[in-house]
Amino acid sequence: MLYIIGLGLCDEKDITVRGLEAVKSSARVYLEAYTSILMVQKERLEAFYGKKLIPADRDMVETESDEILRNADKEDVAFLVVGDPFGATTHIDIVLRARADKIPVRIIHNASIMNAVGACGLQLYNFGQSVSLVFFTETWKPDSFYDRINENSGLGLHTLVLLDIKVKEQSEENLARGRKIYEPPRYMSVPQAVSQLLEIESLRNEKVLSPSTTLGIALSRVGGDDNSQRIVCGTLEELSQQPTEVFGEPLHSLVIVGNRLHHLEVNFAQEYAVNKETWRQVASKAYGCALE
Digit-coded pLDDT (tens) for 239-251: 999 999 999 998 8
Mean pLDDT value of segment 111-118: 94
Provide the terminal-to-terminal Cα distance of the chain, rounded to the nearest Å. 54
pLDDT at 4 (0 to 100):
97
Q: Which residues contact 133 (CB under 8 A, 6 or more apart)?
A: 145, 161, 162, 163, 164, 188, 193, 196, 197, 254
Band of residue 170 on the pLDDT scale cut at 50, 70, 90: low
Res. 227: pLDDT tops 90 = no
pLDDT at 174 (0 to 100):
65
Band of residue 40 on the pLDDT scale cut at 50, 70, 90: confident
Res. 37: pLDDT tops 90 = no
User: Are residues 77 and 28 in contact, defined by beta-carbon separation less than 8 angstroms?
Assistant: yes
pLDDT at 175 (0 to 100):
67
Name which of 101, 36, 107, 40 is nearest 66 in CA terms: 101
Determine if residue 222 is labeled as part of a ligand binding site. Answer: yes
Q: What is the DSSP string of 143-191?
A: -HHHHHHHHHHHTT-BEEEEEPEE-SPPPHHHHHHT----PPPEE--HH
Q: Exposed e or buried b for every residue in 174-191, given b needs 16+ CB within 10 A?
A: eeeeeeeeeeeeebbbbb
Mean pLDDT value of segment 95-115: 95
Determine if residue 288 is labeled as part of a ligand binding site. Answer: no
> What predicted TM-score, i.e. pTM, was given to this entire model?
0.91
Mean pLDDT value of segment 265-285: 95
Res. 136: pLDDT tops 70 = yes
Determine if residue 9 is labeled as part of a ligand binding site. Answer: yes
Residue 254 pairs in a beta bridge with: 161, 218
Band of residue 222 on the pLDDT scale cut at 50, 70, 90: very high
Greater confidence (127 vs 225) lies with 127
Q: Which of 3-12, 50-59, 139-148 has the lowest mean pLDDT?
A: 50-59
pLDDT at 291 (0 to 100):
72
Determine if residue 163 is labeled as part of a ligand binding site. Answer: yes
Determine if residue 19 is labeled as part of a ligand binding site. Answer: no
Q: What is the DSSP string of 9-49?
A: SSSGGGS-HHHHHHHHH-SEEEEE-SS---SS-HHHHHHHH
Res. 292: pLDDT tops 70 = no
pLDDT at 179 (0 to 100):
73
Res. 103: pLDDT tops 70 = yes
Q: For the domain 114-287, what is the CATH code? A: 3.30.950.10
pLDDT at 172 (0 to 100):
67
Distance separating alpha carbons of residues 275 and 283, to the nearest angstrom: 12
Distance separating alpha carbons of residues 7 and 48, to the nearest angstrom: 12
Res. 39: pLDDT tops 70 = yes
Res. 281: pLDDT tops 90 = yes
Can you name the CATH fold of 2-111? Cobalt-precorrin-4 Transmethylase; domain 1 (3.40.1010)
Indicate the average pLDDT of the chain: 91
Q: What single DSSP character describes residue 106?
A: E
Band of residue 154 on the pLDDT scale cut at 50, 70, 90: very high
Band of residue 71 on the pLDDT scale cut at 50, 70, 90: very high
Domain boundaries, the chain: 2-111, 114-287
Q: Which of 69-78, 171-180, 195-204 has the lowest mean pLDDT?
A: 171-180
pLDDT at 158 (0 to 100):
97
Determine what percent of the chain is predicted with pLDDT higher than 90: 74
Determine if residue 87 is labeled as part of a ligand binding site. Answer: yes
